[in-house]
Amino acid sequence: MCPNDAEIVAFAKNSGREAVCSIAHNDEVISTRLQAIEWDFATAKTDYLTHNLHPYPAKFIPQIPNALIEELSSSGETVADIFCGSGTTLLEALQLKHHAIGIDANPLAVLISKAKTTPLAQSEFEELAAHRAHCQHLLVETELNSGDLFYTGQPFQSAGWRPDPEMCQFWFKPHVVEELAELRRLIDQVPSKAAHTLCAVVFSAIIVAVSKQDSDTRYVRREKQSKLGGAVRRYLAHLDAAISAVRELTKVLDDRSSCRVLNANILEAPETEPFDLVITSPPYPNAYSYHLYHRTRLLWLGYEPEQFKRIEIGSHRKYSAKGRNRATAATFSAEFEQIFQWLRNRLRDHRHACFVIGDSTLNGARIDNASLIAEAGATVGFREIARIQRSIAPTRKAFNPKIGKINTENILILQKV
């Protein structure tokens, strides 16, 4: 007997109710599982493989994306980090036999992420060994003094390129400039792209330490002790550690997993393949200015910090500016509404987008960034299914002290519906 119209309508209504109940049940199960995890990871080791390749303030610990990938995706799927920073999510995705996509407007972040996630062939390790031998010879040259047989009476000078002389004079001692210029010249002679990228990241990693910049989180000038050959010696030590880390990485990664990293402005809707999960830690509004604190690194690598400055989201400089053009919480909300419109076309249906973010202080007021992101997502059909608060390690230096220390952050999980 064929069903009549009333029976068909009743069946459709019941099916709809069952689908809604099923979705609600799944959300509850996912939320319960996530809430059961100890998200502080207070004693966890965070510097394994290439995670310690380059300093990068405000990065989250690898255990966070690792747990989210395990809970919210399956092996072989694609994980995206749309503010990939130093590539923490990307490396964890590859370790778990997923594909990875990273996007960042900071060219240094893209360089670090590529080096951090790229295994090397034996021929490339041989290139690095030859490069190291050249740097060891350079160390001998830079450390020569009046008591050495081959000392000429002239300080070491490099024919290599260096950035703007005024910047170099302000931030670096003269002998450090010459050592960095020669190191950069030797790096440019490394043949393969992957090995060259690794050397460039090692080079970048030492720049703040050998400069007069106070630290990665303080853009102020102070005098530091700096011996002849000190920059070369530091570079060699970092290079040895990097080679060892990449050897381990090469053993661990499955060559069937791929990683693509894009240097792009997320507000310009970059083209990517679809993905199954998003895990990211967006810049906190008013908390940090990556273009500023990475400025000397960017310049030595041949990048233009001003280009990145114009598009950096969340920059302290952008939110502390004077006048009516100053960025506000509404600016952050509008940017994320635009991001979610793009994200809706990239994230597969019913999959999750996870944001690790804390509060900010804007003009003396506390801003709940997780709620701003959740509300922005809701405008285009992203539903909040969990929000978990975790404590930030007290040793983590990430924020401008003028706006206060952030002690906790939220892991916000949204689902595309």
pLDDT tens across 3-25, in order? 555 554 454 455 545 544 555 55
Residue 270 has pLDDT above 90, yes or no: yes
Question: Does residue 52 belong to any structural domain of this protein?
Answer: yes
Rounded CA separation 368/387 (Å): 12
Average pLDDT in the 156-172 region? 96
Q: What are phi and psi for residue 238, nearest 5 degrees?
A: -70, -35
> What is the secondary structure of 246-278 as a DSSP string?
HHHHHHHS-TT--EEEEE--GGG------EEEE
Residue 162 has pLDDT above 80, yes or no: yes
pTM: 0.90
Residue 126 has pLDDT above 50, yes or no: yes
Same domain for 355 and 307?
yes
Question: Does residue 114 belong to any structural domain of this protein?
Answer: no
Q: How many helices (H) and strands (E) does the chain have?
A: 15, 11
The CATH number assigned to the domain holding 385 equals 3.40.50.150
How does pLDDT run across 369-390, given as a tens digit for each residue?
Answer: 999 999 999 999 999 999 999 9
Question: Does residue 274 belong to any structural domain of this protein?
Answer: yes
Same domain for 238 and 145?
yes
Q: Classify residue 359 by burial, with Cβ atoms within 10 Å: 0-12, 13-18, 19+.
A: buried
Residue 398 has pLDDT above 50, yes or no: no
Residue 261 has pLDDT above 60, yes or no: yes
Residue 402 has pLDDT above 60, yes or no: no
Q: What is the pLDDT of residue 1?
A: 45
Same domain for 274 and 307?
yes
Same domain for 150 and 177?
yes
Average pLDDT in the 275-291 region? 90
Mean residue pLDDT of the chain comes to 90
Of 192, 224, 252, the position where a domain reaches its end is: 252
How does pLDDT run across 321-337, given as a tens digit for each residue?
Answer: 777 778 889 999 999 99
Q: What is the pLDDT of residue 321?
A: 75
Rounded CA separation 295/291 (Å): 6
Rounded CA separation 293/57 (Å): 10
**Residue 61 lies in domain:** 36-107+256-290+303-416
Confidence of residue 174 (pLDDT cuts 50, 70, 90): very high
Confidence of residue 291 (pLDDT cuts 50, 70, 90): confident
Question: Does residue 113 belong to any structural domain of this protein?
Answer: no
Q: What is the pLDDT of residue 236?
A: 98
Question: Does residue 14 belong to any structural domain of this protein?
Answer: no
